[in-house]
A and B are shown apart, each in its own frame.
Chain A
Amino acid sequence: MSTNDRRLISLRPSSAPPESTAQVDASWDDETVPGLDLDDPLNEFDRVTAIPELPAELYAQRVMESAKDSRIPTKAAPLPEPPPPPAPPEYFSFESGPPPGRGSADSTAPYAAISPQSAPTARPAQPAQPALPTIPVRSPGVPPFSPSPTGLELADLNFDSLMSIKAAPRVEPQVTHDPRDPVLELSFEEVGANELPKEPDTGPVGEMKDRYAMGDFSGALVVAEGILESNPEDLEAPRYAQSCRDVLTQMYSARLGSLDQVVTIAVPSDQVRWLTLDHRAGFLLSLVDGGSTVDQILDISGMTRLDALRIMYQLLDQRVISLG
């Protein structure tokens, strides 16, 4: 990523979910990313869903600096097309590609666009929300559109770049927001001389947005579900929750690889009880019979697909199971 492209944005980062997760780069692989030391307990990128140890503002700054282009388009120009995703160092294949006959626009590219709709989700699609342009829901059969840069572009995140980010001096914002986008926070330009800056939302909604912006999708999801529990009519929480689920599902699916792999137990049976597992992991483990694939076990897991993927990944990470 060219340093010339880096633009510091001192205003509060937009916490709108991306319009589409089609460009999510979930191909990160700890073993192939140089400089990423998982054993380093201070490594803040060990788990992208963890809350970073840096102050929120600084962390958000660093994240935004690494963005290829701003989420905020220029006033006059139409929303630009995002650059094509870079070729991955090694091929990564999503099994949850578009169904046959509904090929995406670039179906022959190494990356086929991922449809949040085609990836199994734990919850049924949310009912139509009031029109907010940042997260349109793609109907089946409709080819994926280019994501708007108004959302956080996870595809633009590159761990190599993040590792080399140094704190840059604060500069005045040089971009303006699209006034049509109501999700964005007010920019400093819009604040009148006699007006006090708007207080950032410190409530649950604000926390949800902050966590989402910082890449803590697990945390954002927990907060979103908490909001829905206390206020089922909330408009933003369902969208954030669904987006978090989609992203997390893709991330865990990417970690597991092909869902057609057969799952086997990697520890001797007499040692299983000495592991540190909960009953849900124990149930998932009981479904492993040495012949069922990841996909089959997910189908009969009795829990949401996201939960099952998360537990399956944890079991793989702890080397309790192996895939082959």
Chain B
Amino acid sequence: MERVIGIDLGTTNSCVAILEGDTPVVIPNRGGYKTTPSVVAVTEAGKRLVGHIAKRQAITNAENTVYAAKRLIGRKWNSPQVKNAIMTSSYTIVEGPHADVRIKLRDKTYSVPEVSSMVLQEMKIVAEDYLGEPVKKAVVTVPAYFNDNQRQATKDAGAIAGLDVIRIINEPTAASLAYGYGKDMDRTVAVYDLGGGTFDISILEIGAHGVFKVISTTGDTFLGGEDFDARIIDWLVTGFQDEHGIDLRQDRMALQRLRDAAEKAKCELSGVRETEINLPFIISTGRNEALHLQRTLARPTLEKLTEDLVERTVDICKQALADAKLDVSEVEDVILVGGMTRMPAVQTAVTGYFGREPNKSVHPDEVVAMGAAIQGAALVQDRQDMILLDVTPHALGIMTFGSYFEELIPQNTTVPTSRTKVFTTSRDDQTAVKILVMQGESKRADENELLGEFILTGLRRAPKGHVEIEVTFEINTDGIVSVHAKDMENGQAQSIQVTATSGLTQDEIKNMMDHAQDYLVERRTDEHFEAAKQEAETLIAEIERLFPEIERVVGSADFGRDAIAKARTTVDRTRAAITSKDTGLVKEQVDQLSRTQRMFKGVVSRG
């Protein structure tokens, strides 16, 4: 049966899981980590780095390292979030040809889906290495507040990475699935998601038959674990400056070490009460002397440094409940998502606000990927009891007189669906009406997103309110929105089909897919060569170790000298093959080396 992986494409870290039997299993990467940083970099030599290794040089190579691309994916160039990112990011953000966003790394520019595809490709490779077979299909999660363009951009990123994204599901929904919700139960749950870069709180109503309704979602896209790290860095820098009069922030290498040490200390303090931060030779003075940084950080100190950040998350939770028009006592369960929820102070705050212990039976940084894997398996196995029903993430409607938004399809309506409303003209003698199709929850049209527009003409001249126009919204199973407007008197009609766009054309996506495939082929070739080379070098070392003994035993005989000469020739040829990076040739020589090694061992054991 075809395997489907579930990928949590996070702002700071990503995770991949698969269902094995009935159990979702998170797949570790080569370094043994179950999460991979969502960081992409290009070195001075033009080498691409993804994941942990990219993160380890994120500060020393800041201009060519992309992080938190999720904050930009699917957004327009002129959106406020992009403008904010331009001011705060260390990498260069430029405008693309379709008013979309591009990122400049060294001498190339990449679209945001392309950068995200590099992370998805990395997760694909992790899964393929684990499973030992190609992986083609995936379910990818996105924040509940993502609009259609952002979702489409995420799907495009998957396509570029060589993945058929068969479903995009909301992160809080995936988390709820992993906790076993959705099985014939009606519950109201809160999903408290504090990750590396963002905080999201979602209130879900879980109904029968796999309907998960996100009744409210809110958060802060600039509040996460990195902010907690920053507080520790500030504390270390201030202390060092007081002691030595040197600002460590001015040196990139020192800052990189500080950041890594701060994150490590933060994680350790979730398990122990104090930890030592030891950074020898952190900076050199002008007198050719290197200074060391050594401090002990206790948990109470960390909690004091970050208590306002934790309080902010509680304030946002209050907002989410207010938006859902629920009292905190009506929340029946709290699910923790994101590595930061391991912090004792965070758990205490959540317990204190919701008045109940949160559910933490699943690893908080793995739970979303596991939920995605569960959904992926259900789709492939056609398990109707487990399949989530697609719902519209945001309300759909049109703009009416006075710039108000008239909702036709409410948020969280299951698809496919169709709704109709009748409108009238707003001015005397109005002969045409402009239909502006919008998406969002605000009553004000200008606060929602414009998806498309069209004009219906040929209306009868009449006083306002006398001409009726029937507007119909339809969403099919593929999520394509169609809007029809019809003059109910003369039957004149006009319509528009709204499709989400990531800002990339099909040709661009195809081009990027080809490049991604080329990169994958090159990488696999390198990996195969490295494996063969390692095996060859091990055999060569063993054979060379045996040479003296072989020479002693059979070196005086003609056949012995001949065998030794042939062995040396094989060794030389193998080294030449390694130098020429010819994987096939190296593998051939490995066979000969193996035979030589066996023969030598036999001779030595008999000698």
Contacts and interface: CB of A to CB of B under 8 A. Distances in A.
B292 A299 contact: no
B580 A91 contact: no
A10 interface: no
A299 B279 contact: no
A279 B49 contact: no
Contact of A300 (B60, B254, B537, B578): B60
B147 interface: no
Interface residues of B, number: 45
A93 B572 CA distance: 11
Interface stretch (A11-19, A96-104, A127-135): A96-104
A305 B46 CA distance: 13
A201 B533 CA distance: 50
A180 interface: no
A108 interface: yes
A296 B51 CA distance: 13
Interface string A298-324: 011111010000000000000000000
A279 B253 contact: yes
A273 B280 contact: yes
Contacts of A103: 580
B580 A110 contact: no
Interface string B39-53: 000011101010001
B582 A277 contact: no
B579 A94 contact: yes
Contact of B31 (A283, A291, A305): A291
B576 A279 contact: no
Contacts of B57: 299-302
Interface in B563-607: 571-573, 575-576, 578-582
Given A108-B580, A112-B580, A278 B284 contact: yes
A285 interface: yes
Interface in B164-188: none
A302 B253 contact: yes
Given A299-B45, A302-B57, A272 B580 contact: no
A279 B45 contact: no
A262 B324 CA distance: 54
Contacts of B47: 299
A278 B45 contact: no
A126 to B, nearest CB: 15
A282 B578 contact: no
A100 to B, nearest CB: 5
A112 to B, nearest CB: 4
A103 B579 CA distance: 9
Contacts of B280: 272-273, 277, 282, 285
A82 interface: no
A108 B576 contact: yes
A171 interface: no
A219 interface: no
Contacts of A122: 44
B251 interface: yes
A286 to B, nearest CB: 5
A171 B580 CA distance: 45
Contacts of A112: 576, 579-580
Interface string B17-38: 0000000000000010000000
B281 interface: yes
A125 to B, nearest CB: 12
B94 interface: no
B414 interface: no
Interface in B257-298: 257, 260, 278-284, 288, 290-292
A226 interface: no
A286 B279 contact: yes
Contacts of B572: 91, 110
A9 interface: no
Given A279-B290, A300-B57, A100 B284 contact: no
Nearest to A101: B581
B136 interface: no
Interface in A105-135: 107-110, 112, 120, 122
A280 interface: yes
Given A110-B572, A279-B251, A279-B283, A287 B580 contact: no
A107 B257 contact: no
Specify which of A110, A122, A280, A287 lies most central, judged by the most chain B CB atoms within 10 Å of its CB: A287
Interface of A: 91, 93-94, 97-100, 103, 107-110, 112, 120, 122, 258, 260, 269, 272-273, 277-283, 285-287, 291-292, 296, 299-303, 305
* Shortest 5 CB-CB contacts between residues of A and residues of B: A282-B281, A302-B60, A300-B57, A283-B253, A273-B280
27 contacts: A91-B571, A91-B575, A100-B582, A108-B576, A110-B575, A112-B579, A120-B44, A258-B537, A260-B534, A277-B280, A277-B290, A278-B290, A279-B253, A279-B254, A279-B291, A280-B253, A282-B282, A283-B254, A285-B280, A286-B257, A286-B260, A299-B47, A299-B49, A300-B49, A300-B60, A302-B60, A305-B44
Given A100-B581, A110-B572, A260-B534, 18 more contacts: A91-B571, A93-B578, A97-B579, A97-B581, A108-B573, A109-B576, A110-B575, A258-B537, A273-B281, A278-B284, A278-B290, A280-B253, A282-B280, A282-B281, A283-B257, A292-B53, A301-B57, A305-B45
